[in-house]
């Protein structure tokens, strides 16, 4: 599967080409009230007088061209994103469990993880990046490669894999209409630096969630499937469940259960489970539709077998 990056790029281009006509088709629906009213007024005036001055027609055409240009397309895309996000639960994204919500958000994570040899590993980026809605049911996430730094060890520092994710929302409902969601997603990591895996890894998964007032449960189940070198990397089944509660002052305490079952590879047959307590804060309005949120937590091994332990995670998000 050495052609995986080309396949992902082709899929992304196809999704973009499919989403663009939808944006234009919804232009009238998302146009502001003044523009629609002005258009209707112009039409009725022409019907009553059966004629219009040449200069007025030219100005109207010029104005419509300005509204229908790049700024109009961006405005319609932005309003589509607002509508799509309003049709689903308003939960904060958990620390480790991937949210099934479609989002317009930039997220940056930092991991701090002690090693068994007495050093400390830092991961800047955490496999996150820019998430944006490209169609009414589809969201794309593309992130920069994480930078991995090893403190106290001779291992060289460097960039890791490039993360990509595509979400497809099957069903969702807002807080007043059921407060649930069901989403499919396909994530991948593509080798991008000296600290990257030698092969790409595909991770198909399904996400479900349900809320009851201030309390919600978000869960994912999927698989990690390397495109090569399976003897070393192995294949895994991955399950994550987050229990959240929305408190006063925009606080979101949570606890997660993160488990991995190793199907093949050097750890075949083993299972590791982490408990991840955490606390989120947000979303706080920064400017217009831009909002800030953050979260922090620590993954603590709950099973005798584990490949790491006491991983501290700090996350910063800007949603729009």
HEC-encoded secondary structure of 20-60: HHHHHHCHHHHCCHHHHHHHHHHHHHHHHHCCCCHHHHHHH
Does 13 score more than 60 pLDDT? no
Going along the chain from its start, the domains and CATH numbers come out as: 6-84 (no CATH), 90-319 (2.40.160.40)
- Residue 284: predicted pLDDT: 97
141/165 Cα distance (integer angstroms): 5
* pLDDT over 70, % of the chain: 79
d(CA 101, CA 180): 10
DSSP 87-112: TS--PPP-SSSPP-S---EEEEEEEE
Cα 121 to Cα 115: distance, rounded to the nearest angstrom: 7
pLDDT (0 to 100) of residue 67: 55
The Cα–Cα gap between 272 and 286 comes to 40
Quote the pLDDT of residue 287: 96
* Mean per-residue pLDDT, 26-50: 38
Beta carbons of 189 and 33 less than 8 angstroms apart: no
CB 164 within 8 A of CB 188: yes
- Name the nearest CA neighbour of 172 among 91, 250, 228: 91
Q: How confident is the prediction for the chain on average, in pLDDT?
A: 84
pLDDT of amino acid 8: 43
Where do we find the tokens 């979101």? 252
Please confirm whether the linkage preceding 318 is cis (ω < 30° from 0). Answer: no
Q: Kindly tell me if the per-residue pLDDT of 37 is higher than 60.
A: no
Partners of 39 in the beta sheet? none
pTM for the structure as a whole:
0.79
∠300-305-306 over CA atoms, to 5°?
45
DSSP 125: E
45 versus 66: the higher-pLDDT residue is 66
Contact 113, 315 (CB under 8 A): no
Burial class (CB within 10 angstroms; exposed 0-12, middle 13-18, buried 19+) of 28: exposed
C-alpha span between 229 and 197 (Å, rounded): 10
Dump pLDDT digits (tens) for 245-301.
999 889 999 999 999 999 999 999 999 999 999 999 999 999 999 999 999 999 999
What pLDDT does residue 193 have?
84
| Confidence class for position 231, pLDDT limits 50, 70, 90 | confident
Please provide residue 177's backbone torsions phi and psi, each rounded to the nearest 5 degrees.
-130, 25
HSE of 169 in the Cβ direction (CA atoms, 13 Å)?
A: 24
Residue 68 pLDDT class (50, 70, 90 cuts): low
Contact predicate 283/270, CB 8 Å: no
- pLDDT value of position 172: 98
pLDDT single digits (tens) 103-155: 999 999 999 999 988 899 999 999 999 999 999 999 999 999 999 999 988 88
Cα 251 to Cα 284: distance, rounded to the nearest angstrom? 11
Is 172:181 a contact under the CB 8 Å cutoff? yes
| Residue where the block lists tokens 């920069």 | 144
Highest-pLDDT range among 65-79, 193-207, 306-320: 306-320
d(CA 82, CA 16): 18
């Amino acid at each position: 599967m050495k052609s995986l990056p080309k396949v992902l790029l082709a899929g992304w281009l196809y999704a973009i080409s499919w989403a663009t006509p939808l944006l234009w088709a919804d232009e009238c629906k998302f146009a502001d009230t003044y523009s629609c009213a002005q258009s209707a007024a112009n039409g009725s005036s022409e019907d009553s007088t059966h004629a219009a001055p040449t200069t007025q027609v030219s100005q109207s055409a010029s104005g419509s061209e300005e509204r229908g240009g790049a700024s109009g397309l961006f405005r319609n895309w932005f309003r589509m994103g607002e509508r799509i996000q309003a049709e689903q639960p308003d939960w904060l994204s958990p620390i480790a469990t991937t949210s099934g919500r479609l989002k317009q958000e930039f997220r940056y994570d930092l991991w701090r993880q002690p090693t068994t040899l007495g050093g400390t590993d830092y991961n800047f980026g955490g496999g996150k990046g820019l998430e944006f809605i490209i169609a009414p049911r589809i969201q794309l996430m593309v992130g920069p490669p994480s930078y991995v730094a090893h403190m106290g060890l001779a291992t060289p520092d460097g960039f890791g894999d490039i993360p990509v994710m595509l979400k497809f929302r099957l069903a969702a409902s807002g807080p007043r209409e059921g407060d649930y969601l069901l989403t499919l997603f396909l994530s991948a990591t593509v080798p991008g630096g000296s600290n990257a895996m030698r092969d790409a890894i595909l991770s198909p998964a399904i996400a479900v969630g349900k809320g009851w007032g201030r309390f919600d449960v978000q869960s994912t189940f999927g698989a990690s499937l390397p495109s090569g070198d399976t003897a070393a990397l192995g294949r895994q089944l991955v399950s994550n469940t987050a229990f959240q509660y929305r408190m006063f002052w925009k606080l979101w305490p949570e606890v997660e259960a993160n488990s991995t079952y190793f199907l093949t590879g050097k750890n075949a047959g083993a299972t590791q489970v982490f408990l991840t307590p955490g606390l989120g804060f947000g979303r706080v309005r920064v400017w217009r539709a831009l909002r800030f949120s953050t979260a922090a937590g620590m993954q603590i091994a709950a099973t005798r077998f584990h490949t790491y332990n006491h991983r501290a995670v700090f996350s910063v998000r800007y949603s729009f």
